[in-house]
Amino acid sequence: MNNRIEATTNKWFEETVSKINDTNKSNKPIDDLLSGIVPVAHKYCNAVFVLAEANHKLPAMALLRILGELALRTIWCMYSDNPRKESHDVRILRWLKTTYDEEMKLLKKFLPSATSEDAATIQRTIDYLQGEIDNNPHTFVGPFYNSLDELPTLYKQDLYPILIGAFHRAVHPNLKLLADLIRQEGNKRTFLPDLEEVNTQSLKIYSMTAAFNILSIVRLHYDWDYKGMKSEYLAIKKDLAAEQK
């Protein structure tokens, strides 16, 4: 497979960025979301490729967990046949309101240990966020996992476990993970720094999958070519599966 996954994924991003830069965009929330998510996702994907190539599997998995959530949240925003029949922009504003609420709750946790000067700055930010929340007439999104109920079943049952569930333990290391890193041979105990059974090529294809989902949304929304990217993605997945047999 060499660097075919990386080269193809980077090509997708570069082509999409070029199209975005050549397009006259409005100031609607949907344009801000789709224009902003592409460079961020590109950076995360490349970081996964670098870490996987260096055999740093757990850090790569942690980034894949973030990429997966980013992909699914974007799908949630763009799913027009949602139960509430909300527009893309309304969904994005609901996400924004939830974002401000989460930021505010986090800042409030810092207040007790802050100096008086820092506390004043934090409080001003809290007041600003509260004002933005109060001025947003839409409802909060609610817990991320629960919000997936507003998508077709396959996203929560199939895509969530692939893009997020498999990598959760890399973001929240626990005793089960640490136990998986122990090898016992007779009286000798070895503590491994990473997971042996995880295949680095698989991590790369997961990164490509997240990229494909995000870029597909962008291209379909703007009516840009999508079929060529899909053909390349399916061909690489097929070839990788044949190699791993």
> Helices 200-221 and 227-243: crossing angle, nearest 10°?
170
> Helices 88-110 and 29-53: crossing angle, nearest 10°?
60
141 Cβ neighbours under 8 A, 6+ residues apart: 76, 94, 95, 97, 98, 147
- Does residue 243 have a pLDDT over 70? yes
147: tokens are 């919000």
- Dihedral angle computed from the Cα positions of residues 7, 10, 12 and 17, in that order, rounded to the nearest 10 degrees: -150
Task: Name the pLDDT band for 1 (thresholds 50, 70, 90).
Answer: low
* Residue closest to 88 by CA, chosen among 96, 101, 99, 79: 79
In tens, the pLDDT along 127-167 reads: 999 999 999 999 999 888 888 888 888 888 888 887 788 89
- Does residue 101 have a pLDDT over 90? yes
Print burial letters for 152-191: b (CB count within 10 Å at least 16), e (below 16). eeebbeebbeebbebbebbeeeeeeeeeeeeeeeeeeeee
Task: Name the pLDDT band for 122 (thresholds 50, 70, 90).
Answer: very high
